[in-house]
Amino acid sequence: MDILLYLIPIALFLGLLGLGAFLWSLKSGQFDDLEGARWRILSDDDIDAKGSPREDTHQD
């Protein structure tokens, strides 16, 4: 059962990673507008003609 000493901390670490990701996304306002977000992904405003990301439209 020694393997548990490795596997359980790994499992917990991965779980905490997910929790941290969720809390971060909550803090950065990603759940504030669920309606708009699904349309925003279709918009090309955030890339310029050459196809590289533009700086000024980055918002959070």
Partner 1 sequence: MGEGTAARDWSAFATPDEVSGREGVCRLELAVDGITCAACMGDIERGLMSLSGVERARLNLSTHRLSVAYDAAALPAEAVVGRVEALGYKAFPFDPARRDDSEREETKELLRSLAVAGFAMMNVMLLSVSVWSGNATDITAGTRDFLHWVSALIALPAGAYAGRPFFRSAWRALRAGRMAMDVPISLGVILTLALSLAETIRGGEEAYFDSAVMLLFFLLVGRYAERAMRRRTRAEAENLAALRAESATRIDPDGRERIVPLSEIRAGDRLVVAPGARIPVDATVESGVSEIDKSLVTGESDPERIEPGASVYGGTLNGSGALVVVASAAADKSLLATVERLMEGAMEARSQRLDLADRAARLYAPVVHSTAALTLLGWVLAGAGWHQSIVIAVSALIITCPCALGLAVPAVQVVAAGALFRSRVLLTNGSALERLAEVDMVVFDKTGTLTDPEPTALNLGDMPDDLLALAGALARRSRHPLAQALAGAGTLSAENVVEHPGEGLEGNVEGRKLRIGSPVFCAAESEAEAVLSRHPGASVIAVHADGMAPAVAAIVQALKPDAAETIAALKARGLEIAIFSGDRPGAVAAVADTLQIADRRAGLGPEAKVAALHALADDGRKVLMVGDGLNDAAALAAAHVSLSPVSGVALARAAADAVFMGNRLAPVIATLDVARSARARMTENLGFSALYNIVAIPVAVSGHVTPLIAALAMSASSIIVTLNALRARA
In this complex, which beta carbon is closest to partner 1, that of residue 42 or of residue 49? 42
Q: How many residues bind partner 1 (CB under 8 A)?
A: 26
Binding letters toward partner 1, positions 1-40, x by CB under 8 A: x--x---x--xx--xx-xx--xx--x----xxxxxx--xx
Is 53 in contact with 47 (CB distance < 8 Å)? yes
Is 60 in contact with 31 (CB distance < 8 Å)? no
Q: Which of 3, 6, 10, 42 binds partner 1 (CB under 8 A)?
A: 42
The alpha carbons of the chain give a radius of gyration, in whole angstroms, of 19
